[in-house]
A and B are shown apart, each in its own frame.
Chain A
Amino acid sequence: MTKQQTCGGCLHFVADAAELEREVPGLKILSSAFGSVRAETGLCRQRDFFCVPEHGCTDWRAAATAPQAA
């Protein structure tokens, strides 16, 4: 893993708020992906768990464009 190979720039990482709400149905019922408490937490589609952009692993794949954390 190099300095650039973090979840923040990974193809598998979902941090966009609207996309995250689509990925986790029910999240917006009594919560929101647009809230401050989530901060930059995102979903790793590859491993199906939550992490933050500064995490990283050997499954890293370059995203076409870095996901925008919202």
Chain B
Amino acid sequence: MNEHVATKESAPAPMGIKALWLKEDWWAIWIGLTVVLLGIVLFLNGSPVLKSLAVNPGGLKWASFDQLADHFANNAGKYVVQFVVFALVFGVTSAIMGIKFGRFLVGFTFLYVLSVCMFAVGGWVNAAKYNLEPPLVALVVGLLLANLVPLPKILDDAFRVEYYVKLGIVLLGATFPITLVVTAGPVAIGQATIISLLTATTIYFLATRVFGLDRRLGAVLSVGGAVCGVSGSMAIAASVGAKREDIYTSVTLVVVWALIMILVLPFVSQALDLPAGVAGAWIGTSEFADAAGFAAASTYGKMVGHEDVSIKAFTLMKVIGRDLWIGIWSLVWALIATTQWEKKEGSARPGIGEIWHRFPKFVIGFFIASIVVTLFTGDYDADTLKKVVKPALMDPMGALRGWAFIFCFLSIGLTTRFRELKTVSRGALLAFSIGVAVNVVAGYILSVHVFGDYWAKL
């Protein structure tokens, strides 16, 4: 076999500064922080533009189609402007990253119209009674369309699950007090550390020692199950020299289990009567993909009427706790691969910079948005915050976050074509599934029994 090595002296220039406009993490930061800063400026000038831009029928509580029609008739201009702004922002930034604007626009128009319908369903007065939570409805509708209707391929370019969820997370920072991050962060990181180590070692041990799978596949599955799904697998793919087939296996297992958990965890949490914060933390320790986890946490939050609480607990646990492990696992596996698996002279040794290199940068935007808004609102008394700042600034930013999330939830369904998922080996299925079971049970014990009081008070 021909030798394949990494040589530092032969390395081409890294992407460097180009990542600032070629990676969706950075665009999520630029757009999210622009919304936050522009929102503050508009608020200070008494402008209703932000509120107008965030219009949606989600909070309408309509009881007849006439009411719904009236809403759209009265706000038609706002919806037109909203569509144009969204299409330009997402379309132009995607074009800069390499997706053709025309193709994106076609798909985005479809996605936007569907999203309006999802909000309208959620705004029905009886939606909660029938568990018609927009995240769940969006996911199911997306899945049905993707798997039962022959949608044109041209629509695909606008179904950017990760881009939308990253922007949603940055905007979430605007309604997330930094003080909560500071006080709750250590518990979240501690719980995430336990889960990450336990799940990763379980999957890797089962995959390689019990089921005899290739160690590269074992590594890819272990990080996928323990940290961040397919993104985690991709982060270490080059470090361990994973094969294309290994990533296919990760995709299939992550997608199937993530969907099962979106559909099951909210209802199990409801059956167990878990407080929103506890359920959010449990979902954060159980779900491996941010987008899927937000769908589950948001659904449960809406079911119990405390969406903000479940979303906050989920964010602390998943985004701040577990996602931080991506870079660490990448470094660890790179070290194992170069020092234990393939000891070759001249091979480049990974450095500590790998942690930053693979760090999910959009998290920075979340922190900055949180700090900026916390500092800005710190000057207002509680009464003014509630009666003036919240309705004119915080609520519209929350509504814009809702738009980003609904685009994401629909995109999860619309991109999941079961016929395109590859079959996986029995060993990989068992190793990963047992890891998921360990993850869910350990997450439950930690979220409900060990740190339950803490999460319940969020």
- Mark A residues whose CB is within 8 Å of B: 1-6, 8-9, 16-18, 23-43, 47-59, 66, 68-70
Contact = CB atoms under 8 A, between A and B. Distances in A.
A70 B7 CA distance: 21
B144 interface: no
A54 B11 contact: yes
Contact of A70 (B97, B162, B241): B97
A66 B247 CA distance: 25
Given A35-B24, A53-B11, A26 B231 contact: no
Given A27-B230, A31-B230, A68-B98, 12 more contacts: A6-B12, A8-B11, A18-B99, A24-B251, A26-B230, A26-B420, A30-B162, A35-B24, A35-B166, A36-B23, A37-B330, A50-B234
Given A51-B238, A53-B11, A35 B23 contact: yes
B99 A30 contact: no
B6 A17 contact: no
Interface in B251-301: 251-252, 254-255, 258, 289, 291-292
Contacts of A41: 234-235, 237-238
Contacts of B242: 49-50
Contacts of A57: 2-5
B397 to A, nearest CB: 24
25 contacts: A1-B10, A6-B7, A6-B11, A8-B12, A24-B248, A28-B162, A29-B161, A29-B255, A29-B415, A30-B230, A30-B255, A31-B230, A31-B289, A32-B162, A34-B163, A36-B359, A41-B235, A41-B238, A42-B238, A43-B244, A48-B243, A48-B245, A50-B237, A51-B241, A54-B7
Interface of B: 2-12, 14-15, 18-19, 22-26, 97-99, 159-163, 166, 228-232, 234-235, 237-238, 241-245, 247-248, 251-252, 254-255, 258, 289, 291-292, 326, 330, 348, 357-362, 412, 415-416, 420-422
Contacts of B231: 30-32, 35, 37-38
Contacts of A34: 22-24, 97, 160, 162-163
A57 B1 CA distance: 10
If over half of B's interface residues share one DSSP class (helix, strand or loop), that class is named, otherwise mixed; here it is helix
A32 B24 contact: yes
Given A30-B289, A36-B360, A53 B241 contact: no
A55 B98 contact: no
* 5 nearest A-B pairs in the assembled complex, by CB-CB distance: A54-B11, A31-B230, A32-B162, A50-B237, A26-B251
A52 B238 contact: yes
Contacts of A43: 244
B421 A26 contact: yes
A17 B23 CA distance: 9
Given A27-B247, A32-B163, A3 B230 contact: no
Contacts of B330: 37
Contact of B348 (A40, A47, A54): A54
A59 B99 contact: no
Contacts of B234: 27, 31, 33, 35, 37-38, 41, 50
Contacts of B19: 36
B129 to A, nearest CB: 30
Contacts of B9: 3
B10 A5 contact: yes
A24 B247 contact: yes
Contacts of A25: 420
A29 B12 contact: no
A61 to B, nearest CB: 13
A30 B258 contact: yes
A55 to B, nearest CB: 5
B366 to A, nearest CB: 13
A2 B9 CA distance: 10
B86 to A, nearest CB: 18
Contact of B10 (A3, A38, A66): A3
Contact of A54 (B3, B6, B230, B415): B6
A69 B15 contact: yes
Contacts of B22: 17, 34, 68-70
Contacts of B358: 36-37, 39
A30 B292 contact: yes
A28 B4 contact: no
A42 B234 CA distance: 10
Contacts of A6: 7, 10-12
A11 to B, nearest CB: 15
Nearest to A3: B10
Q: Of B9, B99, B238, B330, which is in contact with the most chain A CB atoms at under 10 Å from its CB?
A: B238
